Homo-oligomer: A and B are copies of this chain.
Amino acid sequence: MGGDDAPDVVIDGAADAAGDGLSLCLVGPEDRLRSRGLPVVHASDHISIDEAAVAGVRRSRDTSIRVGLREVRAGRAGAFVSCGNTGAIVVASMLELGLNDGVRRPPIATLLPRADGRHLVLLDTGAHVDARAQLLADFARLGFAYAQELGISDPRVGLLANGAEVTKGTPRLRAAVEILDQADLPHVGFIEPHAALRGACDVLVTDGFVGNVLLKAGEGTVHMLGRLIEREIRRDPIAKLGAWLLRAAVRRLRRQVEWEARGGGVLLGCRGTVIVGHGRATRESVRQAIHLANRTVCARVAA
């Protein structure tokens, strides 16, 4: 029931993922979800996108988010995917699944494409807008472990900052570095976003406000560049021909960099796999979020 055009777009994306061979069920009001023949777990209620997270979760046990998470807890589902209210997904996951030992708050980790063709794990991309030093250090530890799950050996963990010098950053960031040093957690210190996107680190740690803004700035920049090059191409017949010859390469590029291809982020530190899909859910982004859930579960089983 989550996402801007729910539930139709979610049902379509889920049907596509099922068509790709993934096994899944929908969670929500049975009468609204029956259209495509996918299995349904009934949930009578749902939390809306503008509801306060804690209040929305507490209000009812029968919201689609809580019912879906209980499917994971009961072992009937390997992962839960939602494009709904991010705060509610986070709070409900803590409540229904519980946190792994030593985890205070679960951050959302999102994979960004890097200039060297590999990936950057960015976290937190929206679970906790106000993360103090200890939480940032926790996120570094969780991001390190997640990068290892993804097959990156010896991940380099950086703290997002406005400059690489130790005089940069905020008091909070400098305190986080001290905590990491004392805990002997390996890290590469302060990293600027352009350096991270070039490959200066594998894991980039920040709070949920900055991480979310960074993610959306990247999406916006990709879109902006697409629109501006389209304008240039329209006014130039030779460029039009060039663009036509480039269309296959551009299609391959899009699969690497567009937010729809990413699907969403992984909520780290919970006793169960939770995928936070993109709020502006499209059929394709829902399909990709379900594939991300599948890949995450497989990586965790293998680890």
Contacts and interface: CB of A to CB of B under 8 A. Distances in A.
A216 interface: yes
A249 B224 contact: no
Contacts of A232: 249-250, 252-253
A242 B233 CA distance: 12
A222 interface: yes
A7 interface: no
A167 interface: yes
Contacts of A52: 167
Contacts of A115: 220, 223-224, 226-228
A233 B253 CA distance: 10
A170 B209 CA distance: 8
Interface in A167-218: 167, 169-170, 192-198, 208-210, 212-214, 216-218
A196 to B, nearest CB: 7
Question: Copy number in this complex?
Answer: 2
A153 interface: no
A116 interface: yes
B221 A50 contact: no
A72 to B, nearest CB: 26
B113 A228 contact: yes
B242 A249 contact: yes
B246 A208 contact: no
A221 B222 contact: yes
A299 interface: no
Given A214-B213, A242-B249, A117 B221 contact: no
7 contacts: A114-B224, A194-B219, A197-B220, A198-B220, A229-B253, A242-B249, A243-B246
Interface of A: 49-50, 52, 113-117, 126, 129-130, 160-163, 165, 167, 169-170, 192-198, 208-210, 212-214, 216-229, 231-233, 236, 238-239, 241-250, 252-253, 256-257
